[in-house]
């Protein structure tokens, strides 16, 4: 049986961030990933000459140190996209997200409470919240603003914003994931693809081992430090012995169907990313990769990716459509009401991708069940969580979890390296 200073579960941005930090700090680290590729939700798929991310992925870089980290990892292969996210208002594309628009003249503030409605009304006024912010936010999350936690919109407003534009890997967000994987190997870390963690073994409330299935039979790695780079609920579902039932409660998830359409034109719009609040339009966000980087589309043609947020059930008006019907509905919307195409027949389908479990529905009523698995895992010694609702946030969470794992391994005398984590 192999032993390791630390095992990282999952090679999405969180797991890669943790694996890279641990490997660079001199730890003997194994990163295990169920898929045959790294990146999790952050992959760039190559189709018919186009590079399409699995949904528009803006890296929300908050400081110069992180920008320099990106630059060095990608060997300078970054480009500045100087257009912030746009939105559609009164049939026109305007600069800024719905959350960036402001009432004119300003409105007297409403009363704050712990809901998204209260949070927004206190900042921007109740009328503006209801007429301009509510339709888009409810279209995305599928619950009334009165049931969404205030923290959800605070994070969208403040943490997940790129008001002036953003740095982006020239070949798509997957390029960053591949660069992190290469850097882990270069620093001496081990990355096992096509390897599923089937059990997180705990002894007396401490991490002890991880069981793996890599296709070639079962294997276990003994370790006293485990970084969880996958949703906490997935990690609790493989814990042995299992946690109490409240850490395993079912949670309603929001789904997204991604529709990619090709148009024989240089560009459809000048915008990288546009939010659409109209309930009659099946998608809530549309991204045009050629406006993120010229390397993502062959000359003379463009692709538009549309993110349709919905519930993964047959009676959902979006998810319930078969792929052909969904493609037709998106193409029709591009022509009318959006007016970006003269004729829906000018758009041809490239691909439809369905993600049935994109994120937990942010409903106050189910937040205790959403949080319970993380709470329980945090109580297990040597288990470190790397939660991240956005790419850079997930990488940073992975690095923080790596720092905890490193100090745990040093305290236990398992590792002698004294290198710093970053
Ligand atoms: C449509 C869409 C648009 C988005 N847009 C943006 C954006 O503009 N900006 C932004 O910052 N973020 C965006 N995000 C969010 C971003 O993708 C996530 O925050 C990020 O991917 C989370 O990273 P993670 O590593 O925590 O999880 P994931 O990316 O989900 O990675 C988890 C990994 O764990 C692996 N795994 C699961 N189970 C096991 C197991 N048992 N054993 C081994 N491996 C396992 C999975 O295969 C996966 O590779 C978007 C997400 C979606 C869906």
Q: Report CA(43)–ligand 1 centroid distance (Å).
A: 9
- For the chain, where do the domains classified as CATH 3.90.660.20 start and end? 166-170+253-360
Sheet with 196-203: strands ordered across: 2-3, 218-222, 206-213, 196-203, 239-240
Atom of ligand 1 nearest to the CA of 273: 8
Asked if 151 and 157 count as a contact pair (C-beta separation under 8 A), the reply is no
Residue 88, by phi and psi: left (phi above 0), alpha (psi -120 to 50) or beta?
Answer: beta
Q: Cβ(9) to ligand 1 under 6 A?
A: yes
Is the minimum distance from the CB of 51 to ligand 1 under 6 angstroms?
no
Ligand 1 center–CA 12 separation, angstroms: 5
422 pLDDT tier (thresholds 50, 70, 90): low
- Closest ligand 1 atom to residue 40 Cα is 49
CATH 3.50.50.60 intervals, the chain: 2-43+172-249+367-411
CA distances from 46 to 38, 179, 305 (A): 15, 17, 13
pLDDT band at residue 418 under the 50/70/90 scheme? low
The fourth-level CATH superfamily of domain 2-43+172-249+367-411 is FAD/NAD(P)-binding domain (3.50.50.60)
CATH for the stretch 166-170+253-360: 3.90.660.20
Query: Which residue has the least CA distance to atom 8 on ligand 1?
Result: 57
For ligand 1, pick from 199, 390, 398, 399 the residue to mutate: most ligand atoms within 8 Å of CB: 390
Element at 394 (helix H, strand E): helix 391-411
- CA–CA gap between residue 190 and residue 196 (Å, rounded): 15
DSSP letter assigned to residue 381: B
- At residue 10, φ and ψ (nearest 5 deg) are 95, 140
Element (H, E) at 218: strand 218-222
Question: Does residue 350 contact residue 261 with C-beta atoms inside 8 Å?
Answer: yes
Q: Kindly report the pTM of this predicted structure.
A: 0.97
The finding on whether 53 has its CB within 6 A of some atom of ligand 1 is no
User: Which ligand 1 atom minimizes the distance to the CA of 195?
Assistant: 43
The end-to-end CA distance of the chain, in Å, is 30
Our answer on whether the CB atom of 14 is closer than 6 Å to any ligand 1 atom is: yes
For 109-136, how does the pLDDT look when each residue is reduced to its tens digit (9 = 90+)? 999 999 999 999 999 999 999 999 999 9
* CA 189 to ligand 1 centroid distance, Å: 21
pLDDT tens digits, 29-83: 999 999 999 999 999 999 999 999 999 999 999 899 999 999 999 999 999 999 8
């Amino acid at each position: 049986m192999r032993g390791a200073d630390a095992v990282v579960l999952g090679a999405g941005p969180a797991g890669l961030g943790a694996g890279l930090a641990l490997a660079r700090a001199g730890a003997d680290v194994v990163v295990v990933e169920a898929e045959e590729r790294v990146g999790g939700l952050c992959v760039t798929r190559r189709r018919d000459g186009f590079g399409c991310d699995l949904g528009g992925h803006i890296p929300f870089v908050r400081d110069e140190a992180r920008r320099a980290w990106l630059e060095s990892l990608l060997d300078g292969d970054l480009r500045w996209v100087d257009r912030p996210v746009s939105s559609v208002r009164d049939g026109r594309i305007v600069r800024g997200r719905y959350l960036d628009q402001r009432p004119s003249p300003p409105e007297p503030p409403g009363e704050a409470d712990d809901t998204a409605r209260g949070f927004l009304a206190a900042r921007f006024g109740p009328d503006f919240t209801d007429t301009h912010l509510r339709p888009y936010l409810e279209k995305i999350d599928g619950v009334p603003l009165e049931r969404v936690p205030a923290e959800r919109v605070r994070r969208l407003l403040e943490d997940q914003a790129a008001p002036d534009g953003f740095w982006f890997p020239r070949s798509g967000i997957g390029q960053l994931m591949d660069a992190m994987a290469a850097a882990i190997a270069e620093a001496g870390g081990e990355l096992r693809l096509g390897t599923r963690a089937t059990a997180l073994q705990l002894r007396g409330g401490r991490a002890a081992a991880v069981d793996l299935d890599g296709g070639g039979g079962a294997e276990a790695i003994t370790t006293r430090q485990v970084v969880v780079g996958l949703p906490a609920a997935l990690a609790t579902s493989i814990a042995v012995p299992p946690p109490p039932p409240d850490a395993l409660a079912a949670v309603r998830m929001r789904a997204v169907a991604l529709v990619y359409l090709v148009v024989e034109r240089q560009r459809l719009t000048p915008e990288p990313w546009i939010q659409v609040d109209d309930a009659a339009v099946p998608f809530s966000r549309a991204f045009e990769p050629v406006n993120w980087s010229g390397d993502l589309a062959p000359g003379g043609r463009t692709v538009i990716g549309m993110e349709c947020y919905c519930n993964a059930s047959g009676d959902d008006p979006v998810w319930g459509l078969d792929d052909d019907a969904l493609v037709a509905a998106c193409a029709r919307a591009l022509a009318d009401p959006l007016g970006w195409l003269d004729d829906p027949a000018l758009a041809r389908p490239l691909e439809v991708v369905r993600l049935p479990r994109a994120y937990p529905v942010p409903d106050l009523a189910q937040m205790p069940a959403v949080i319970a698995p993380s709470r329980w895992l945090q109580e297990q010694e040597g288990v470190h969580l790397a939660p991240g609702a956005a790419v850079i946030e997930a990488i940073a969470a992975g690095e923080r979890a790596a720092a905890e794992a490193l100090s745990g391994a040093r305290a236990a005398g398992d590792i002698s390296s004294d290198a710093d984590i970053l």
